[in-house]
Amino acid sequence: MVQHQLRGLFSVIDDCSFRVSNFDMLSGDDVHWWGAVGDDFQNLTNGFLISDSNLNQTYKNDSFIVHLLKNVTWDQIKVLSIWDIPTASNFGHILLSNYSVNGGVSSSNTEQPTMFENCKVLSDNYRIRWSFKEGENMIDIGLEAAIGIQDYMAFGWANPNASSSLMVGGDVAVTGFEEDGMPFARDYYITKYSECMINEDGTVQGKDGVSFIRYRRPLRSNDNNYDLEVDPMANMIVIWATGLVKPPDSLRPFYLPQNHGGSYGHLRLNISEQVNDCLGPLDAKDKEDQDLVIADKKEPLVISTAPALHYPNPPNPSKVLYINKKEAPLLRGNATLRNMSETIYFGGPEAEGVQADPAELVWAPDRNTPDLVYYQSLYVPKMGWKVHVVDGGLPDMYNNSVSLDDQQVMFFWTLSENSISIAARGEKKSGYLAVGFGRGMVNSYIYVGWVDDSGIGRVNTYWIDGRDALDVHPTKENLTYVRCKSENGIITLEFTRPLNPSCDRNARPECNNIIDPSTPLKVIWAMGAQWSDDHLSVRNMHFVTSKRPMSVLLMRGSAEAEEDLRPVLAVHGFMMFLAWGILLPGGILAARYLKHVKDDNWYRIHVNLQYSGLAIVFLGFLFAVAELRGLNLDSLHVKFGMVAILLAVAQPVNAYLRPKKPGPGEEACSKRVIWEYSHIIIGRCAIVVGIAALISGMKHLGERYGDENVHGLSWALIVWFLIGALTVIYLEYREINSKRSRISGRSNWVLGNGEEEDADLLNPSRQMTDKVSHSSERMEIQLEPLSR
C-alpha cells in the first residue's frame, strides 16, 4: 500500500495473466495496471501500461483475473503497480523476482507492513488487524482508523480480574502522530497512567484520512507489575478507544491521550482464531491529510525546497516544494477580482531565486481560474501539489491583516467609530486558538475559540492574572457577531467588540480592556489540544504559544515584533544618562557655584565636564543609529534627543564666538550681555530637554521592549533628578545669602582689582558692588565699617 487503502494478494497464473484476490482500493480518476523496471521515482513515472483493464471503482475484498497486453511479457516487468495516470500517482506496487524460463515469475517474499492474517471491526471507523504465529512469543498488531491526524488510537487487554471498570487495570498501547508527522506508540497501564519503558518497533502510514500504525508486543513480558500476559488460546477481553491526543507542553514532555469522548468499547478476542470481517477499505470523509496553507491577499508565501518526508502524492523526487515551512501543503487562494481585468503571471524560467535573493511571483486568480489547479516546478515534476481556488475569505471581509509572532497566527481587523471587528486564524492544527491583548499571558485579556463536542463554535473571554489554571477568570465582554469554525484542524475565530467598554472600571477587570487605536496594541497567541467551557485544568494547557508580543498599529495597518533589549541600546541609555544626568549638569553647577575657587579652576572643571559630556553624547548617538540602521524621527524620544543634541552642540560654537570681556571698571557691551544671556539660557534649556529625552527614553523602552525593570528604573531616574533639583535649590539659597552678606557689609575685606573672570553680568547687585570697588583707581584697599 502507498495510498487509497490498497491491499490484496497477487499470484501469477501463466505467461500472460495473474490473479488478484482479497483486493481493497478506493477509487481514483483513471487507474490502470502499470509496469516499470524499478520502484524509484524516475522509473515509475517512465513506466507503461500492461493491461487493458481499468480500475475506476472502489473494490471491497474482490478477486479477479487480469490479462497482460499482447506486447508485454513478464521479463519486462520488475515492478507491477496500480497507477493513476492524470495525477501520476502510485496507489501501490509489488516487486517481482527475475523471470526464468523454467521457474516463471514470482513475487517478492517480503512481508508488507499493511498486510495481516486477521482483521476485526471495532467500530464503523476503527479496525484492528493482527498476525500471530503459533510458537512465537510475539504478536503483530495494526491499528487502522478513519480519524483526524490529531486523534489517538488505543488498544489493549483488560485485566481479567477487573470487577467493575474494564479500563482500570488495563494494559493498552496508545498510538498516534506527532506534530511533525512521525508516529509514536506508548504502553500504558491504566491506574494513574504510569508509562512503561517498553520499546515499540512501529511502522506507520497515514493516507486518505486513515491513520494506520503497526507495532509488535510480546505475549508474556518481563514486566510483571504492569504488563498483562496474553493467552493466545483464550477468549480474552480487549478494550479500545479513540480521542484527541495532547501534544507535549512545559509540564509533560510527551504525548498524552485526552478523554476518548464516547468513542470506546470492548469485546472478546481469541488471537489464534482466523477472523476477517473487514469488508473493503475504510473511507474517510476528510481525505486531505496534509497541511493547509491559506494564501491571503497581499500576504507573501515563502517557497523553498527540502527533502520529501510525507509527500501527499507519491512517487516523488527526493526534494519537494515547501510553502511557509510546510511540505507540499494544500494551498487555498481567493479569487475575488471577478469583474476586473487582471494580468496573471504563471511563472516560467525567470521565476527562480535563492534564499538570499528570492524571486517574486505574483498571481491573481480571476473568474476564469479553475477551482483546482496545481503549483509545480517547471523542470522537475511532482514537487508541488494542489491549489484550491475559492470565493472570498477573511482578507476581503477585513481592512487590515498582519502575521503574528512566528507566523503561526493571522490577525485581521476593521476599525469603526466606536468598535473594532477582529478575526484570528491559526496556521497549524489545534483544538483551540487563543489570542490576547497584553505583553504576556499574565495580566492579559484573552479570547479563546474552539468547537465543542456538539460541533458548535464557541468564543469565550478571560482575564489571566497568574500561571495556574485557577488564575484564568471568565469575563463577560460585550461581543457581537461571534463565529468560530475548525477546518481541517485550522481554527478561525471572529467577533466584534466596543473600543471602550461601557462599564465602571472598578466593577470588573474586563471594563479596563480599552483599545486605543492611536496606541500600539500588544497581541499574543496560544494553541492547545482541548478547551473546556466550565472547569479548566492542566489538560487545557497550550502546547505552543507566541514567544513575544506583536505591536499592532491599528490605524496604520501594520505590526512590528516586540524585540528584546539590545545590548548596544542599553549602552546607549547608560551613556546618555552619564552625559545628561551627571557630566553636563555638573559642568553647569561648577560655573555657577565654584567661582570662589582660586586660579580659575572652576573654569577648567566647567570646560572639561562639558566637553566630556558632549563627546559621550555623540558616541551614544552613533551607537543607537548604527544599531537601528538609521534615524527615524517618529518617536518622541528621538525628537527630544535631537533637540538636546543641537542645543548642546551650539554651546561650544557659542563659547568660541563670545565677545571680549570688559576691562576693570568698564561696563559690559551689549554684545557681551546678549552672549551671557544666550550662553546660560541655551545651556539650561539643553539640560531640561536632555532630561526630557532620558525620561521619554525610559517610556519608549517600556513600550517597545516590555522590560520588567523599566518601572523601577523610571522611578530611580526621577528620584535622581529630584535629588539634583534639591541640591541646586540648596546651593542657590547659600549663594543668595552670601550676596546679601556682602551688600549688608558683613564681610571684613574685599581684596582684588576687579579683573576676575567671575563677573556676573546677569546680577545687577554684583555689578553695583564692582562699580563701588573700582570708583577710585588710586585706592588699592577699601576699608568698610563693620556696622552702620
Q: Which residues of the chain have pLDDT under 70?
A: 98-110, 163-164, 191-208, 249-252, 259-262, 286-290, 298, 333-346, 367-368, 562-566, 665, 703-709, 742-788
- What's the pLDDT score for residue 400? 92
- What's the pLDDT score for residue 260? 62
Closest of 166, 199, 406 to residue 268, by C-alpha: 166
- What's the pLDDT score for residue 342? 37
Q: Measure the CA–CA gap between 48 and 74, rounded to whole angstroms.
A: 13
State yes or no: cis peptide before 232, omega within 30 of 0: no
- What's the pLDDT score for residue 754? 37
Structural contact between residues 89 and 72, judged by C-beta atoms closer than 8 angstroms:
no
Q: Measure the CA–CA gap between 79 and 40, rounded to whole angstroms.
A: 10
- What's the pLDDT score for residue 746? 47
Q: Measure the CA–CA gap between 250 and 257, rounded to whole angstroms.
A: 16
- What's the pLDDT score for residue 373? 85
Structural contact between residues 8 and 24, judged by C-beta atoms closer than 8 angstroms:
yes
| pLDDT single digits (tens) 413-441 | 999 999 999 999 998 888 899 999 998 88
List Cα–Cα distances, 340 to 335, 366, 393, in angstroms. Answer: 11, 8, 18
Phi first, then psi: give them for residue 651, nearest 5 degrees: -65, -50
Q: 585: phi > 0 → left, psi -120 to 50 → alpha, else beta; which?
A: alpha
Other CB atoms closer than 10 Å to residue 537's CB: what's the count?
Answer: 11
Instruction: Indicate the SS3 state at residue 523.
Output: strand
Phi first, then psi: give them for residue 605, nearest 5 degrees: -60, -45
DSSP one-letter code for 104:
B
C-alpha cell at 682: 541655551
| pLDDT single digits (tens) 448-483 | 999 988 889 999 999 999 888 889 999 999 999 999
DSSP string, 714-768: HHHHHHHHHHHHHHHHHHHHHHHHHHHHHHHT--S---S-S--TT--TT-HHHHH
Closest of 240, 229, 236 to residue 269, by C-alpha: 236
- What's the pLDDT score for residue 104? 59
One-letter-per-residue 3-state SS of 345-412: CCCCCCCCCCCCCCCCCCCCCCCCCCCEEECCCCCCCCCCCEEEEEECCHHHHCCEEEECHHHCEEEE
Residue type, 370: P
Beta strand spans in 73-224 (E): 79-84, 89-95, 118-123, 126-132, 138-145, 151-157, 171-177, 183-189, 194-195, 203-207, 210-218
Closest of 25, 18, 3 to residue 80, by C-alpha: 18
Closest of 649, 648, 678 to residue 580, by C-alpha: 648
Residue type, 303: I
Phi first, then psi: give them for residue 463, nearest 5 degrees: -120, 125
Instruction: Indicate the SS3 state at residue 273.
Output: coil
Q: Measure the CA–CA gap between 335 and 295, rounded to whole angstroms.
A: 10
Q: Measure the CA–CA gap between 543 and 248, rounded to whole angstroms.
A: 6
